[in-house]
Structure 1
Amino acid sequence: MARATRPEDRSLSANAPAGSPATPPAAPPPLQGTQLLIATFAVALATFMVVLDSSIANVAIPTISGNLGVSVDEGTWVITVFAASNAVAVPLTGWLTQRIGQIKLFVSAIVMFVIASWLCGLAPNLTFLLAARVLQGIVAGPLIPLSQAVLLGSYPREKSSMALSLWAMTAVVGPIAGPALGGWITDSYSWSWIFYINIPVGVFAALTVWSIYRKRESATRKLPIDTVGLALLIVWVAALQIMLDKGRDLDWFNSSTIVILAIVAIIGFAAFVIWEITEAHPIIDLSLFKGRNFLGGTVAISVGYGVFFGNLVLLPQWLQEYLGYRSVDAGLVTAPLGIFAVILAPIIGRIMPRTDTRVMATIAFVFFAFVFYLRSRYNVYADTWTIVLPTLLQGIPMALFFTPLTAIILSGLPGEKIPAAAGLSNFVRIFCGAIGTSIAGTAWNNRTILHHARLTEVANAFNPDYAQGQTTLQTLFNVPASTARAMFGLSVDSQAAMLGLDDVFWASSLIFIAIIPLIWITRRYKAGGAGGAAAAGAH
């Protein structure tokens, strides 16, 4: 059983100069009273701001695309480039913390996030917006892990479970507020305000955190940075993401551009792996994958998150493009996602120490599969309740998904390995979210084309059913033959898109069932004592 280790303890221990005593300097005492309440709220706001931005743009993609004169497929890059750049930045958190200091880095990241959000809102074209989103994703990288560390350091060790529960509740509020808030802002004002809204929130959070925590700064020291590893990481991640985003437009491997990007991604990834396993100070510690709990847990949570996030992006697009929902209505339909997640988060924190986390994660995956099965039965006549019910139910497996799997991933690791393990698992998970978005969009497009071809192959003058249908349309709506054919075409487009989306939902359901064995290659985790995130043991 690994001893629970506070983030400050690990940071100070890691920052101790060579030859210094093993005992690290005493960590600052926990905060108390009103100061603790205000600090928790400010740190939670910073977390909320980042989580909100990962989902708030989902319902606004059709509007953003139309205003900037690009296709919806290109508009989706607003989501994927944020996730990809965010994933690349996460592994740098540990190095930056030791160079700059935990509090200075946290506050600086908040300020830079505010500036990047302002630039996003000012964007006159897609290129400018994507560049601003890349910057936003990069500076957001340290915010999530540091918010956890800062919050844990503010509470007594025995109340670390409460701190983590409060953090988890904040993190899952994003899926509730993001789509609904994004839809309302887009319809009532302008899509730019889904980014401007971060400015007052971020300024308040930065000022409050700095005023409370500036005297609680962690020790710093100069460490070498793996510049070659970082460069290789950026190269293969960027090549792979661009390949996935541009594949549909360029007809995949029939395009020399896609072939070149694929080669760069493969060679870059191979070179990155070779370099990292031989580098003395790697930017990513790949040796962590030797542990079966880390390997099984990371792959399971990353694939599951990729499937979940990819579908989260597609649903509001379908509602707006084919069912005629406004942005705000699409947001309200997807908003119930976090209701059960918020309600169950503190309950899960209490029962997890007494339960096999593998069982909890398995229940989550089975429930996810059931939710996607329900969605695979959608049709073009689906009413609002039929669409909302699976989204509401999805909050239940969300509550059982992140915390148990994170506990499995970190279980059995020594304290000094936990920051690196958390950073690496978050990198893989976030990057899989970006990949999942691209793959889900491509799969929907391809299946829609297939179903469209099947539906129209019998639409000819020699088919009596088609001829009768056209005659009925002309008579019923008193329109000419050309208009009747156009109406038929629109109906086919809608049906094909629905059938294609159903295929994606059905495949998602099967994927969740297929990856359950990954959970069971891990050893049993049992939380210890206070239930801190690092208090993990393997049996």
Structure 2
Amino acid sequence: MAQAQAPHPPLQGMQLVIGTIAVSLAVFMNVLDTSIANVAIPTISGDLGVSADQGTWVITSFAVANAISVPLTGWLTDRIGQVRLFLASIVLFVVSSWMCGLAPTLPLLLLSRVIQGAVAGPMIPLSQALLLGAYPREKAPIALSMWAMTTLIAPVAGPILGGWISDNISWPWIFYVNIPVGIAAAAATWAIFRKRESVVKKAPIDGVGLGLLIIWVGSLQIMLDKGKDLDWFSSTTIVVLALTAVIGFAFFVVWELTADHPVVDLSLFARRNFTGGTVALSIGYGLYFGNLVLLPLWLQTDIGYTATDAGLVMAPVGLFAILLSPVTGKFLPRTDPRYISTASFCTFALCFWMRSRYTTGVDTWALTLPTLIQGIAMAGFFIPLVSITLSGLHGSRIPAASGLSNFVRIMCGGIGTSIFQTAWDHRTILHHAQLTEQANAYNPVFAQQMTGMGSVGLDQAQSYGLFNNMATQQAAQLGVNDLFYLSSAIFIALIALIWITKPERAGGADAGAAASAAH
């Protein structure tokens, strides 16, 4: 049995500065990749000769692989050591980013993204551990606030950087930009942290549980991604994938509840705080992330925005998020986190309701205002909900609880992307059918429109083609409005989950560390 190790002394001076920058660079690179590809999906899809909904697999493949690898962080840390695992995660992330940029076809790009997502899993929880170990205990809030700022800036920079690169260079460079950042982060991490390795021990791994986890999550995600192309349950492939996901999930739950060393501690769901907080956070994140992908896709495919302009529309979300997050952290210990979470969800609902009023003639201000307000919601979204989720847990259970909550959240982000893309297609088709069913010679309004088009020199075929294009654009607009409105309603409904919890007051730096794990 490994002997207990005395904690390493805090870093000081330039070592502390360089160590903080190194860890922050790695986190920035990781979080950036969750959003940098969002605005580039139409460009990637067109270049690789696939549809836009197939292009969204670039996002979901990363998210699902990342979700599966997160629960393994604790076991890998015991076997390899914190510093070595963190370094390996950075280096492999750089290699897989290079592979993404070189990929000539969608299957190879998706394979590279799966590898990238898998190796990224340990990076965020280990970055928190290294930072907290590098700072004196009384300065832990400073370390965590700097860490949180990084995770808020990266999603804002992602769409802007991704859009500019797609428009002005070429899409592979959205992955190549990770290479110099990753090399710098790895070199600095090795220089500062190599003598601060954690104790290594031989820990058992739940191989059966891990295998079942991969089977049911993978089957579910492939089913959601391929469903539209294969006409859902009229396809044998989709039926088989659905059955595999359901059976695999059932076996996974039974196995994990009875295993001696489960890869995921499902008994945590017996706690109302954990269940209410995790479900509210995960569904809310799935809605947020699904819309984060849908909005720039709609702007580019139907409103005529460039990738750069779509990225700039998404950028204001970071303004209030960055300014107000420290305020949230300051007031959280003094108030009931349920109030902050409720205000956050109401603000999200307001943003999506405002977007549900969009028309095809929407102007830049109408697009930007809800995004700006959404930053207020973001500032009160993560930290209060995770403080609720982890409330009342013994310190020894917090890493497992944080890992499980993170796993569910990331998985819901990937699933949300797939569902939103499919739902948008279905609603667009439905609205198009409703709009065109009135297009016949017996409708005097339609006949008048056709006559008007003919008077400007269009023949009948051209007039019908122009009308169909207008109907298609309007149908896509109505479809995206439906999803914005539904998102608003779901956020309101989720407030009930927040209030079934009864959070207990947690203490200082430990609570902050746990809460920061939400990101």
TM-score range, shorter chain: over 0.9
Q: Which residue among 6, 9, 15 is the counterpart of 1:29? A: 9
Partner of 2:458: 479
Partner of 1:79: 59
Partner of 1:94: 74
Deviation at 1:90, TM superposition (A): 0.2
Partner of 2:488: 509
Alignment of 1:417 onto 2:397: yes
Which range is displaced more, 85-94 or 285-294?
Answer: 285-294
Partner of 2:472: 493
- State the distance in 1 between where 2:445 and 2:171 align: 45
- State the distance in 1 between where 2:201 and 2:163 align: 45
TM alignment of 1:349-498, pairs within 5 A: 349-476=329-456, 478-498=457-477
Is the 1:161–1:531 contact (alpha carbons within 8 Å) kept by the matching residues of 2? Answer: no
TM alignment of 1:5-24, pairs within 5 A: 17=2, 24=4
Deviation at 1:473, TM superposition (A): 2.1
- State the distance in 2 between where 1:291 and 1:164 align: 26
Q: Which residue among 166, 175, 181 is the counterpart of 2:161? A: 181
- State the distance in 1 between where 2:271 and 2:82 align: 28
> Relative to 1, partners in 2 of residues 1:340 and 1:525: Cα closer, same or farther, differing over 3 Å?
farther
Partner of 2:249: 269
Structure 1: where are the runs of 5+ without partners?
1-15
Is the 2:386–2:514 contact (alpha carbons within 8 Å) kept by the matching residues of 1? Answer: no
- State the distance in 2 between where 1:147 and 1:405 align: 21
Q: Could you list the runs of 4 or more consecutive aligned residues of structure 1 that deviate by over 6 angstroms after TM superposition?
A: none
Is the 2:81–2:198 contact (alpha carbons within 8 Å) kept by the matching residues of 1? Answer: yes
The percent identity for this pair of structures is: 63
Alignment of 1:293 onto 2:281: no
Q: TM-score, normalised by structure 2?
A: 0.97
Partner of 1:11: none
Deviation at 1:531, TM superposition (A): 6.1
Deviation at 1:210, TM superposition (A): 1.0
Alignment of 1:323 onto 2:298: no
CA RMSD of aligned residues (A): 1.2
Look up the SS of the partner of 2:281 in the other structure.
helix
Per-residue Cα deviation, 1:509-537 (whole angstroms, up to 9, x for no partner): 0100111111112113434244643579x
Deviation at 1:279, TM superposition (A): 0.6
Q: Which residue among 305, 312, 318 is the counterpart of 1:338? A: 318
Is the 1:114–1:199 contact (alpha carbons within 8 Å) kept by the matching residues of 2? Answer: yes
TM alignment of 1:303-314, pairs within 5 A: 303-314=283-294
Per-residue Cα deviation, 1:117-159 (whole angstroms, up to 9, x for no partner): 0000000000000000000000000011111111111111112
Is the 1:341–1:399 contact (alpha carbons within 8 Å) kept by the matching residues of 2? Answer: yes
Is the 1:527–1:535 contact (alpha carbons within 8 Å) kept by the matching residues of 2? Answer: no
Look up the SS of the partner of 1:284 in the other structure.
coil
- State the distance in 1 between where 2:154 and 2:58 align: 18
Per-residue Cα deviation, 1:389-411 (whole angstroms, up to 9, x for no partner): 11111011101000111111112
Per-residue Cα deviation, 1:157-176 (whole angstroms, up to 9, x for no partner): 11212211111111011221
Amino acid at match of 2:189: V
Structure 2: where are the runs of 5+ without partners?
none
Q: TM-score, normalised by structure 1?
A: 0.94
Q: Which residue among 39, 61, 65 is the counterpart of 2:45? A: 65
- State the distance in 2 between where 1:396 and 1:55 align: 19
Amino acid at match of 2:205: I
Partner of 1:194: 174
Which range is displaced more, 479-488 or 252-261?
Answer: 479-488
Partner of 1:45: 25
Is the 1:348–1:400 contact (alpha carbons within 8 Å) kept by the matching residues of 2? Answer: yes
Look up the SS of the partner of 2:6 in the other structure.
coil
Is the 1:294–1:410 contact (alpha carbons within 8 Å) kept by the matching residues of 2? Answer: yes
Is the 2:78–2:202 contact (alpha carbons within 8 Å) kept by the matching residues of 1? Answer: yes
